[in-house]
Amino acid sequence: MMTIDPGSRSGTERPVTYIRFDGWLAHVENAFNLIAAFSILALMLLAVVQVFGRLFLNLPVPGFIDITEQAMAIFAFAGVAYCQRVGGHIRMEIVLGKLSGRTLYLLEMLGVIVIAFTVALLIWGSWYHFGRSWGIGDSTMDIRLPTWPSKLVIPVALSLLFLRLLMQAYGYARLVADPTREAIAVPVIEDVEEHARHEIEEAFGDDETNEGGSK
């Protein structure tokens, strides 16, 4: 899967508002993804301290289970919009891989709209649970960590995903209207050779790949 970088095309190919919003959204998604990655790293280091402290000093980390439970919401949801942008979610392309043109883009758009509707319901439900946790002062069993921060992460991250889905629905709508347009900011199906080439470009950079191709 590949996502076209909105910053790599000329500004005359799409509306200016679309470029700016997509670029701003991508920066926020990148930041959330980094937060998720750092939360995983921090939890791994904390687990190392927990194991060594328990084995050698008989001093386990207080509330380790509580901290782990609260951190799960961060690394499980914070990177979900980024993953949607780059087409990293598992997809069933047995049927879609055989389609092309307006039919493919129409089905992709309908799928994104259905997902956006589902995510909207999840936002409503998770926001309700956040408000309930805030109102009753809910906390963990061991060290009494408040649970509302982790519950707030979920509707915020899902709202970011919702905006990305709306952006992709708009991108597919452009292609449904005119299939000859260039795909902008939407995942596109690649064959094996194209996928391998883009992985090489991401690993070594476009300049080195172009140099190697010109030799």
Q: SS3 sequence, 145-190?
A: CECHHHHHHHHHHHHHHHHHHHHHHHHHHHHHHCCCCCCCCCEECC
The answer to the question of residue 189 being in a domain is yes
The answer to the question of residue 6 being in a domain is no
Dump pLDDT digits (tens) for 176-204: 999 888 888 787 766 667 767 766 776 67
Dump pLDDT digits (tens) for 38-73: 999 999 999 999 999 998 888 889 999 999 999 999
The answer to the question of residue 127 being in a domain is yes
Per-chain mean pLDDT for the chain = 83
Is residue 98 within 8 Å of 106, Cβ to Cβ?
no
Domain of residue 32: give its range.
11-214
The answer to the question of residue 168 being in a domain is yes
Pairing mode, strands 2-3 and 187-188: antiparallel
Predicted TM-score of the model (pTM): 0.80
The answer to the question of residue 120 being in a domain is yes
CA 98 to centroid of chain Cα atoms = 26
The confidence band for 96, taking pLDDT boundaries of 50, 70 and 90, is: confident
The answer to the question of residue 4 being in a domain is no
The answer to the question of residue 66 being in a domain is yes
Q: What is the pLDDT of residue 208?
A: 47
In 3D space, the residue among 191, 185, 196, 130 whose CA is nearest the CA of residue 157 turns out to be: 130
Dump pLDDT digits (tens) for 124-159: 999 999 999 999 999 988 899 999 999 999 999 999
Q: What is the pLDDT of residue 209?
A: 44
The answer to the question of residue 34 being in a domain is yes
**Domain count along the chain:** 1
